[in-house]
Amino acid sequence: MADGKIAKTHNELVSRGREHFQSVLNCPEPTVTHDWNSAPTSSLLSVNMDPISKAEVRLAIKQLNYGKAAWVDSVQLELLKTADSTDQHLTRVFNMVWQHWKIGIIITLPEKGNLT
C-alpha cells in the first residue's frame, strides 16, 4: 500500500494500483504548448545522417549483456553475439530503416513536480 505495507490480497493490490496511477496520471494540464509546425531552427539537433556502419553495429552488439530475457521476437542476445554474420544482416536492416525514417522529434519531459 502507499504507506509502505505490502499488498497481501488481490483487492489490496488493485487498490494500490489505482492509488498509484491516480497520483501519476491525474495532474493539471500543462501550461506550455508547442506549435509543431514552427520549430525554431536553434532547437534542431545536429544528427549524423550517414549510413550506419558495420563497426557501429558490431560495437552495439558487443555491449549487449548476457543473461537477459528475449523480447517479443524471441531472439536471445547470446545468438546475436555469437552468430557469424549478425552484424552484416543487422547493418543492412538498420540502414533500410534509417533511409526511410523521415522525421524525428525529441521532446523533453519535465520531472514530476516541475510541470510549470
Q: Is residue 88, in this structure, part of any structural domain at all?
A: yes
Written in H, E and C, the secondary structure of 14-77 is HHHHHHHHHHHHCCCCCCCCCCHHHCCHHHCCCCCCCCCCHHHHHHHHHCCCCCCCCCCCCCCH
d(CA 40, CA 20): 37
Q: Are 30 and 115 in contact (CB under 8 A)?
A: yes
Is 33 within the bounds of a domain? no
Judge if 21 and 61 occupy the same domain.
no
Q: Which residues of the chain have pLDDT under 70?
A: 1-3, 30, 32-45, 102, 105-106, 112-116
3-21: pLDDT as tens digits: 677 878 888 888 888 888 8
Report if residue 43 sits inside a domain.
Answer: no
Domain assignment present for residue 39? The answer is no
Does residue 58 sit in the same domain as residue 103? yes
Decide if 113 is inside a domain. no
Output the pLDDT for position 116: 52
Q: Do 57 and 103 sit in the same domain of this protein? A: yes
pTM (predicted TM-score): 0.48
Is 20 in the same domain as 57?
no
Q: Tell me whether residue 102 is in a domain.
A: yes
The contacts found for 7-15 with CB under 8 angstroms, 24 or more apart, are none
The domain tally of the chain equals: 2
Is 64 domain-assigned?
yes
**pLDDT at position 31:** 74
Same domain, 103 and 57: yes
| pLDDT for res 43 | 60
What b/e sequence results for 54-86 when a residue is b if at least 16 CB atoms lie within 10 Å of its CB, and e otherwise? Answer: eeebeeebeeeeeeeeeeeeeeebeeeeeeeeb
> Residue 56 is part of which domain span?
52-107
